[in-house]
Structure 1
């Protein structure tokens, strides 16, 4: 039986007692059927991962006793996924898979052809936290509130932004270069593609790097996961 991992956004150190975050007691006690004395592992990016045991648990609360450190903190390369807001099931899936692939920021974007007019950042953050607990990451990606594309571009910090542009004269990802120290950043548009005015705006931005994701037209959620995986394999922490 595997040991459950829990993200705890509190200082972690040997001998400390920490309280579970909202919802964790229910998951550990009711869903996983663990009780006092059972082992868990607690983690966050500041303190690393720690062995712990359940010191007390009831329906809505749990307390953990921290033992020895299992893994020290380690820096993660910055990796941003910007994706047009999708319908609920597709957006949930993208957040889960992007977390597994190492995204440090998931930013829903509103475009002219976006199929959803918002994204529930709190619910998506919970999905990201669960995915991080399962995939043995030490951090949970930030899931931001959805913002209009033009506002995002106007406030961009100048880092190279790879934009998936289907049916365009864009270079394949394998031909792109990543400047030393620059974060990975990928923008994927909606199911219907970017509007022409949006494409014109993107091409005018000096930080935008148009890229092709192969010879086939991909669904937006497929493009987000495939593009992120390709970037990680070619120039990220898979390379």
Structure 2
């Protein structure tokens, strides 16, 4: 892996087209990394691929980059698009979810409000910063689209036509038994996901405490929704996100062989 700094920028990238960095990026290159005129930086903007750029003479505290050559074209993955729908949890755990979803190649991140959601405010600016840093560190060429918190039904209705909802549902149907007993439990996630190759998907993860009986019944009756189980243990929300995304990428996504 290259030791050169790697930055996401918003400006267009083309040969010798001057790019003036904002205060934060300038401070990072000039004061934290202590780069000087002539040093190289890798940059990407989600549109023009990845470029090698050279640091020009700074103007005061502002760093200026000059793109030199394209290192990687902006190629998309052949895997179908993947959306993450999740109910926000505690701050650090929610930050972890956004970071790992970016690392694992999610194209759209949609926080949702469910009946048992305890955290009902999110900071989109913070999510975008976390995703940006994760993309820079993991060689990703784009950033995920991160949407404002919205109700579950509204988020489901907004999914592109043909999107299969992979509903991570650990409950059974036996009232009064711990976590619903064993009757009515969903099929294993691996077996269900294996039947969805080539289809755009949205993975749905609930909050601490899971989904209400009404939500669960609605989701199970919804056309295009596939309930799945992530195993015999009840996972924390952030663990469930990583587990489900890993399975999907390994079976249907850009980790799979076909």
TM-score, L = length of structure 2: 0.87
Aligned to 2:116: 113
- How far apart, CA to CA, are the structure 2 residues paired with 1:185 and 1:58? 46
Is 1:157 paired with 2:155?
A: no
* CA shift in 2, pair 1:179/1:206, >3 Å: farther
Aligned residue runs from structure 1 range 206-217, under 5 A: 206-217=223-234
Shift of 1:130: 0.6
The CA deviation string for residues 187-206 of structure 1, in whole angstroms up to 9 with x for no partner, is: 10001101111111211210
Higher mean displacement: 198-207 or 27-36: 27-36
- How far apart, CA to CA, are the structure 2 residues paired with 1:57 and 1:203? 58
* CA shift in 2, pair 1:55/1:105, >3 Å: same
Contact 2:197 2:251 in 1 (8 A): no
Consecutive unaligned residues of structure 1, counting only runs of 5 or more, are none
Aligned residue runs from structure 1 range 25-174, under 5 A: 25-57=26-58, 61-76=62-77, 77=79, 78-158=81-161, 159-168=163-172, 169-174=185-190
Aligned to 1:218: 235
Is 1:178 paired with 2:179?
A: no
Q: Which of the pair has more CA radius of gyration?
A: 2
- How far apart, CA to CA, are the structure 1 residues paired with 2:61 and 2:168? 44
Contact 1:25 1:58 in 2 (8 A): no
Shift of 1:3: 0.6
Contact 1:8 1:21 in 2 (8 A): no
Aligned to 2:7: 6
- How far apart, CA to CA, are the structure 2 residues paired with 1:58 and 1:226? 47
Higher mean displacement: 165-174 or 186-195: 165-174
Contact 1:19 1:64 in 2 (8 A): yes
- Where 1:129 maps in the other structure, the secondary structure is helix
The CA deviation string for residues 30-79 of structure 1, in whole angstroms up to 9 with x for no partner, is: 33222322210011232100101111446763210110111111113422
- How far apart, CA to CA, are the structure 2 residues paired with 1:58 and 1:191? 50
TM-score, L = length of structure 1: 0.93
Aligned to 2:176: none
Runs of 4+ in structure 1 off by over 4 angstroms are none
The CA deviation string for residues 68-109 of structure 1, in whole angstroms up to 9 with x for no partner, is: 111111113422111101221111111111111101111111
What's the Cα RMSD here? 1.7
- How far apart, CA to CA, are the structure 2 residues paired with 1:36 and 1:194? 56
The CA deviation string for residues 169-216 of structure 1, in whole angstroms up to 9 with x for no partner, is: 211122121253x22320100011011111112112101110111111
Shift of 1:25: 1.4
- How far apart, CA to CA, are the structure 2 residues paired with 1:192 and 1:217? 10
The CA deviation string for residues 3-46 of structure 1, in whole angstroms up to 9 with x for no partner, is: 11111222211221112245211222233222322210011232
Aligned to 1:229: 246
- The number of residues matched between the two structures is 238
